[in-house]
Amino acid sequence: LSECRQLVERAAALGGEEDAELESVSSALEVAEKAAREAREAAEARRAAEAAVRKAFKRRGLTLGEFPDPAMREQYLGEHSGARLWYDDDEDVLHWPLLLLYPEPAQSDFVQDVSENDVLLDHLIEMFGEEGENSPDWDIERKYSAAALNAYVSVPSDDDAPEVWSILRLDAALGVQLAQKRKLGYFVPGVPTIQVVVRDSAYERHIFASKDRVLR
């Protein structure tokens, strides 16, 4: 674009100011220059926001890792997801999307914006109700209510080692709890991902009876 601008200016200097074609080219060039400038500014703002998120993660003792599947990045943080990882500098608060997985019925919920200070219980009440009054259609047996659930984070294992699941308190800030799990090798897999099961259910007993999974 800079070379085009130089050519237009040279043509104008040679007496082409009144040339209609030159005016058209100059106008089109101004539009292109404005678009390029806005794209640069947006890219700079995006890089600054990403750097702020990384620094906020580091200060909290959190590790931000990659999604298990690259396609998940577009699904959960892409342009059309309506969600983003971001840091509120004024309030010194991290925000992230939250993926809630219900492995027994193979269902999930995606919350677009969650503060690190949020507690899981509030979101589970919104999803299911305190006593299951908001249960979704897939909960045929009406087993899922906020008061009847356990929440876990999972830590990927190496080789043939069992996968580690670690329980979360439903009534405590999520961010602090995730930072505490780092000693187990936990990292945020793209976005916080929580496994939710019915407490003391046959399914919960089954998953921890398996040699593929261990509770810590």
Instruction: Determine the pLDDT at residue 13.
Output: 54
Q: To which residue do tokens 């407490």 refer?
A: 199
Q: Are 170 and 120 in contact (CB under 8 A)?
A: yes
Mean pLDDT score of the chain: 87
Rg (C-alpha) for the chain, rounded Å, is 25
Instruction: Determine the pLDDT at residue 30.
Output: 74
Q: Which residues contact 27 (CB under 8 A, 6 or more apart)?
A: none
172 to each of 15, 27, 69, 153, 190, how far by Cα in Å?
Answer: 73, 58, 29, 14, 22
Q: To which residue do tokens 């810590």 refer?
A: 216
Instruction: Determine the pLDDT at residue 158.
Output: 74
Instruction: Determine the pLDDT at residue 103.
Output: 96
43-52 own/partner pairs: CB under 8 Å, 24+ apart: 49/86, 49/87, 52/87, 52/89
Instruction: Determine the pLDDT at residue 140.
Output: 93
Q: Are 139 and 132 in contact (CB under 8 A)?
A: yes
Instruction: Determine the pLDDT at residue 138.
Output: 96
Which two three-digit tokens encode residue 30?
Answer: 């101004």
Q: Which residues of the chain have pLDDT under 70?
A: 1-23, 25-26, 33
163 to each of 1, 195, 201, 205, how far by Cα in Å?
Answer: 54, 13, 20, 15
Instruction: Determine the pLDDT at residue 40.
Output: 78
Separation between Cα atoms, residue 204 and residue 150, nearest integer Å: 9
* Cα angle for residues 96, 146, 137 (degrees, 5° grid): 90
How many residues can be counted in the chain? 216
Separation between Cα atoms, residue 96 and residue 99, nearest integer Å: 10
C-alpha torsion sign, points 170, 210, 98, 85: positive
Instruction: Determine the pLDDT at residue 38.
Output: 73
Instruction: Determine the pLDDT at residue 163.
Output: 86
Instruction: Determine the pLDDT at residue 23.
Output: 67
Instruction: Determine the pLDDT at residue 205.
Output: 93
